C-alpha cells in the first residue's frame, strides 16, 4: 500500500465532526467544475451527502485492512456501473474530495497530508474501475423491468410482479436494487420473493417507510405498465450447496420475501425438513398468508409458526412470542439457519440461537447496519457522536 493510512486517518479525524458541511462543499465543488455529472445524482441530495460521508468513514476504517478494503471497493465499483460511472469521472471526484478535505482541515493541512490523500484516492479509484472493468462485457449494468401485477397486500405493503426485459440470472435468497422514474437515481434494495421462474418474472414485497422517497412511490403510486430499473442480483444468503440438513428460517415483516424464495427453491430441490417462524407487528401484518397456507398445504416437510400479537399489540410482544417459540426446542444444532427481517432481527436472533446450540457457520443473513438511527443530525456534534442507519444502495457494502 503506497500511502500512509495513519496520516489519512488522522487527517479525517480533523474534518469528520464537520461532515455535513464537508459533504455539501464536495458536491458544490464537483457540480460547479463538472456540470455534466449532476444528472447522475438524485434531485434531493441530503441522503446522498449522508451516503458520501458514510462511505468515506467505511473506507478510512478499512485502510489498514487491505482485504476488507479491497472487497468493499470492488463492491462499490461493480455497483456504480448502474449509475453510469465512467473512468473519466473518477479524477473529477478525487479533485473535489481533496478540495473539500483541504478546505475543512484549515491550518492542519500539509503537503504530506495532501500526498497521502492523493495516493489513497488513486488506490481507491483504481480498485473501483478495475472491478467495473472486470465485469463481463455482456453483463448488463441494469435491466428495465415492467410492472405486470400490483397487489396491495396491506395498508403499507405492496407486492409487485416484474417482467425484466431480458433474462435476469439470480439465485433464491438474493436481492436486487431498484429505482423508478418517479424518483430518478434513488435506489433501494429489495429481496426477490421467488425462486427463478420459467417466465422470468420477479416478485418483490415493498413496505412503505415513513419519509421513504422510493418506497412511498412504489406502494402508493406505481401501477402495472410502468417500467422500473433493477440492478444486478446481490447477496450470498442462499441455500448451502448440497446440504441435506434441516432448515430453520426466521422472518420478520417483509423479511418473509427472502424466506419465501428459499422455500420455493427447497421444493424444487426435492424438499427437506424446514421450519419457518414468521413474526409480524400484529395479526393484520401477516400480509401474505394465502401464499403461506398454500405452501404449507402443498409440502408436508414444511412447518410455519406465526408469531404476532393481537391487533393493537406492541412490537415487544411479537419479539417475545418469537423468542418463546424458538425456545420451545432445546437445541437447533445441525440446522441450516436463515434470518431475514428488520435490521435488528438477525443479530438478536443469531445470539439467541447460538445459546440453543446452533452452529455459527450455518447461520446466514444479509449484512445489517450497526445502528438503526434514521434521523439526520442537526449539529456538527451530532454528526460526530451519533452513528446513523444509512439507506445503502448495496447492502454487501457493509459486509
> At residue 48, what are phi and psi to the nearest 5 degrees?
-60, -40
On whether residue 221 sits in a domain, the answer given is yes
> In this predicted structure, what is the pLDDT of residue 388?
52
On whether residue 50 sits in a domain, the answer given is yes
Q: How far apart are CA 259 and CA 250, in angstroms?
A: 8
Is 301 exposed, middle or buried (CB count within 10 Å of its CB: 0-12, 13-18, 19+)?
A: middle
- Give the count of domains, the chain: 3
On whether residue 76 sits in a domain, the answer given is yes
Mean residue pLDDT across the chain: 88
Q: What angle do CA 191, 351, 336 make, to 5 degrees?
A: 55
On whether residue 238 sits in a domain, the answer given is no
The helix, strand and coil proportions of the chain, stated in percent and rounded to the nearest 5, come to: 45, 20, 35
Q: How far apart are CA 309 and CA 289, in angstroms?
A: 15
**Residues paired with residue 191 on neighbouring β-strands, in sequence order:** 175
Pair (15, 107) in one structural domain:
yes
What number is the average pLDDT over the span 283-296? 93
For the stretch 313-332, pLDDT in tens is: 777 888 888 999 999 999 99
Pair (121, 165) in one structural domain:
no
Q: Is the dihedral of CA 324, 345, 239, 336 positive or negative?
A: negative
On whether residue 239 sits in a domain, the answer given is no
Among 28-32, 61-65, 184-188, the least confident range? 61-65
CATH of the domain at 258: 3.40.50.80
Pair (26, 110) in one structural domain:
yes
Distances (CA, A) of 209 to 34, 44, 219, 391: 34, 17, 10, 11
| Joined grid coordinates for residue 225 | 405498465
Q: How far apart are CA 115 and CA 113, in angstroms?
A: 5
CATH of the domain at 172: 2.40.30.10
On whether residue 237 sits in a domain, the answer given is no
Q: Spell out the residues 6+ positions from residue 300 whose beta carbon is closer than 8 angstroms to its own.
A: none
Pair (93, 208) in one structural domain:
no
> In this predicted structure, what is the pLDDT of residue 2?
67
Pair (123, 30) in one structural domain:
yes
On whether residue 236 sits in a domain, the answer given is no
Closest CA to 393 of 55, 26, 27: 55
What is the band of 375 on the pLDDT scale with cuts at 50, 70, 90?
low
Pair (15, 97) in one structural domain:
yes
Pair (14, 121) in one structural domain:
yes
Region of residue 278 (phi > 0: left; psi between -120 and 50: alpha; otherwise: beta): beta
pLDDT > 70 in the chain, percent: 92
Supply the angle between the helices 111-134 and 5-15 in degrees, to the nearest 10: 100
> At residue 122, what are phi and psi to the nearest 5 degrees?
-60, -45
What is the band of 1 on the pLDDT scale with cuts at 50, 70, 90?
low
> In this predicted structure, what is the pLDDT of residue 369?
60
The residue among 46 and 303 whose pLDDT is bigger is 303
Pair (265, 331) in one structural domain:
yes
Domain that holds residue 36: 5-137+376-391
Pair (9, 113) in one structural domain:
yes
Pair (78, 108) in one structural domain:
yes
CATH of the domain at 60: 1.10.490.10
CB atoms within 10 A of CB 252: 26
Q: Is the dihedral of CA 229, 232, 234, 240 positive or negative?
A: positive
Pair (281, 345) in one structural domain:
yes
Residue 64: CA count within 13 A, CB half-sphere? 8
Q: Which residue has the cell 438511527?
A: 373
On whether residue 259 sits in a domain, the answer given is yes
> In this predicted structure, what is the pLDDT of residue 378?
54
CB atoms within 10 A of CB 125: 18
Q: How far apart are CA 346 and CA 323, in angstroms?
A: 13
The residue among 50 and 208 whose pLDDT is bigger is 208
What is the band of 387 on the pLDDT scale with cuts at 50, 70, 90?
low
> In this predicted structure, what is the pLDDT of residue 207?
95
Pair (54, 169) in one structural domain:
no
CB atoms within 10 A of CB 350: 18
Most confidently modeled range among 31-45, 144-158, 363-377: 144-158
User: Of 200, 230, 260, which closes a domain?
Assistant: 230
User: Of 195, 230, 265, which closes a domain?
Assistant: 230
What number is the average pLDDT over the span 359-376? 74
What is the band of 238 on the pLDDT scale with cuts at 50, 70, 90?
very high
**Residues paired with residue 160 on neighbouring β-strands, in sequence order:** 150, 204
Distances (CA, A) of 211 to 215, 216, 374: 9, 8, 10
Amino acid at each position: 500500500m503506497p500511502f500512509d493510512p495513519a496520516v489519512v486517518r488522522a487527517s479525517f479525524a480533523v474534518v469528520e465532526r464537520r461532515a455535513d458541511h464537508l459533504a455539501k462543499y464536495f458536491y458544490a465543488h464537483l457540480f460547479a467544475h463538472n456540470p455534466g455529472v449532476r444528472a447522475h445524482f438524485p434531485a434531493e441530495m441530503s441522503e446522498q451527502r449522508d451516503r458520501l460521508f458514510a462511505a468515506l468513514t467505511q473506507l478510512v476504517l478499512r485502510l489498514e485492512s487491505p482485504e476488507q478494503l479491497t472487497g468493499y471497493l470492488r463492491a462499490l465499483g461493480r455497483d456504480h456501473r448502474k449509475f453510469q460511472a465512467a473512468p473519466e469521472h473518477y479524477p473529477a471526484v478525487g479533485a473535489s474530495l481533496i478540495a473539500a478535505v483541504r478546505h475543512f482541515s484549515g491550518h492542519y493541512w500539509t503537503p504530506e497530508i495532501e500526498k497521502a490523500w492523493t495516493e489513497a484516492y488513486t488506490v481507491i479509484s483504481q480498485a473501483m474501475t478495475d472491478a467495473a472493468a472486470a465485469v463481463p462485457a455482456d453483463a448488463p449494468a441494469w435491466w428495465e423491468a415492467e410492472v405486470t401485477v400490483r397487489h396491495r397486500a396491506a395498508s403499507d405493503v405492496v407486492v409487485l410482479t416484474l417482467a425484466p426485459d431480458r433474462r435476469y440470472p439470480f439465485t433464491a435468497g438474493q436481492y436486487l436494487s431498484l429505482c423508478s422514474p418517479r424518483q430518478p437515481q434513488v435506489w433501494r434494495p429489495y429481496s426477490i420473493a421467488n425462486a427463478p421462474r420459467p417466465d422470468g418474472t420477479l416478485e418483490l414485497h415493498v413496505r412503505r417507510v415513513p419519509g421513504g422517497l422510493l418506497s412511498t412511490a412504489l406502494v402508493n403510486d406505481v401501477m402495472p405498465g410502468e417500467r422500473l430499473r433493477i440492478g444486478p442480483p446481490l447477496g450470498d444468503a442462499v441455500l448451502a450447496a448440497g446440504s441435506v440438513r434441516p432448515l430453520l428460517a426466521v422472518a420478520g415483516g417483509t423479511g418473509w420475501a427472502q424466506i419465501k424464495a428459499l422455500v420455493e427453491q427447497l421444493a424444487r430441490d426435492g424438499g427437506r425438513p424446514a421450519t419457518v417462524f414468521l413474526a409480524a407487528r400484529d395479526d393484520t401484518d401477516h400480509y401474505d398468508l394465502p401464499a403461506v397456507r398454500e405452501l404449507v398445504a402443498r409440502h408436508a416437510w414444511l412447518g410455519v409458526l406465526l408469531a404476532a400479537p393481537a391487533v393493537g399489540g406492541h412490537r415487544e410482544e411479537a419479539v417475545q412470542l418469537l423468542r418463546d417459540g424458538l425456545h420451545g426446542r432445546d437445541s437447533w444444532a445441525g440446522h441450516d439457519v436463515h434470518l431475514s427481517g428488520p435490521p435488528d432481527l438477525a443479530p438478536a436472533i443469531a445470539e439467541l440461537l447460538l445459546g440453543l446450540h446452533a452452529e455459527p457457520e450455518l447461520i446466514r443473513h444479509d449484512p445489517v447496519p450497526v445502528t438503526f438511527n434514521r434521523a439526520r443530525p442537526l449539529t456538527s456534534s451530532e454528526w460526530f457522536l451519533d452513528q446513523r442507519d444509512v439507506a445503502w444502495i448495496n447492502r454487501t457494502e457493509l459486509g
